[in-house]
Amino acid sequence: MLTSIEDAPGSGLPDIAVAICDRYTGVGADGWMLVDRTGGDGWDASIRLFNSDGSEPELSGNGTRCAAALLARERADRQEFRIWTGAGIKSLRLVAREDDEFQFEMNMGRIRVLDLHASVRKRDAVLVDAGNPQCAIPVENFDFDWRALGAAIEKDPLFPKRTNVSFLRREGPHAIDVRFWERGAGETNSSGTGSTGAAVAAVARRLVEPPVTVLTPAGALQIRFEPAGNGEGASTIHLTGPAVLVAEGVFHHAKMRR
């Protein structure tokens, strides 16, 4: 859900996010994003993001691609965009377009593995910093209540600011199947940062080799690893996936009235 930041009220934004994202009385979404098109020193636009529970995360990989799609529709002569996020400036490159369907490659930066062999709720896990906190858990299958486990891990005392949770299963030498429990939104069919964290975790555990295709319930995302110079440091990760503009409109809610 994208909104022009100049059209949004200046207060009560978390409450508005909850109202808009409600799937029964609102539009329905995992999150609400405010886009400021004015740009600044080194970026073309900036975004502010709210989860469906009103909390404000640092970054959304899928959401940032959606913001880039909005910019690309308005600036047809542009192929590259730099967007300021709560996790720093992210660069995106338009690789394909058909009408209002876009494909972007997004530079996710250098993703850090914080703990390669963590134990979380008696589960083997990999803790990753993907611009936001990620807890990736390798599994053999999804025949267990991973939603309840994801909800419990999200709020585990190990994570004072809560965490995103991904359950990943190896599907081949270059592919993983993933289910997501997102901090502040719950179960979600796709996550850009979650896919990035899961792919980095799977490579670090030597379950797969790059490049990695992440199979999500909403479709596949591609993760490309660009080795750091001189073989030092973490690889730079590039995420490629779609962004589709599906609707436009006006949301009316009493709490939005001044």
Q: Could you please report the per-residue DSSP string of 70-137? A: HHHHH-TT--EEEEEETTEEEEEEEEEEETTEEEEEEEEEEPEEEEEEEEETTEEEEEEESSSEEEEE
pLDDT in tens, 188-227: 999 999 999 999 999 999 999 999 999 999 999 999 999 8
**48 and 101 inside one domain:** yes
Token pair listed for 61: 């990989």
Encoded tokens for 33: 């994003």
Query: Does residue 217 lie in a domain region?
Result: yes
Q: Which residue has the tokens 């006006």?
A: 250
- The CATH code of the domain that includes 29 is 3.10.310.10
Domain contains 168: yes
Domain residues for the domain of 188 are 112-234
Q: What percent of the chain has pLDDT over 90?
A: 86
Inform me whether the pLDDT recorded for 6 exceeds 50: no
Question: Do residues 17 and 67 both lie within one domain?
Answer: yes
Cα gap 133→12, rounded to integer Å: 26
For the residues 44-72, what does the mean pLDDT come to? 96
98 and 126, same domain (yes or no): no
Shared-domain flag, residues 47 and 96: yes
Residues contacting residue 160 through CB under 8 Å, at least 6 positions apart: none
Q: Name the residue among 159, 134, 145 with its Cα closest to residue 58.
A: 134
Number of domains composing the chain? 2
pLDDT at 141 over 90: yes
231: helix, strand or coil: helix
Query: What amino acid is encoded at 105 in this protein?
Result: E
Q: If you average pLDDT over every residue of the chain, what do you get?
A: 92
Contact (Cβ atoms closer than 8 angstroms) between residue 237 and residue 111: yes
User: Quick check: is 208 in a domain?
Assistant: yes
pLDDT tens by residue, 143-155: 999 999 999 999 9
Check residue 217 and report its DSSP letter.
T
Answer yes or no: is pLDDT of 43 > 60.
Answer: yes
Residue 234: partners with Cβ closer than 8 Å, 6 or more residues away = 110, 111, 112, 113, 228
Token digits of residue 6? 């100049």
Ranking 45-54, 112-121, 231-240 by mean pLDDT, the lowest is: 231-240
Place of tokens 């640092």: 58
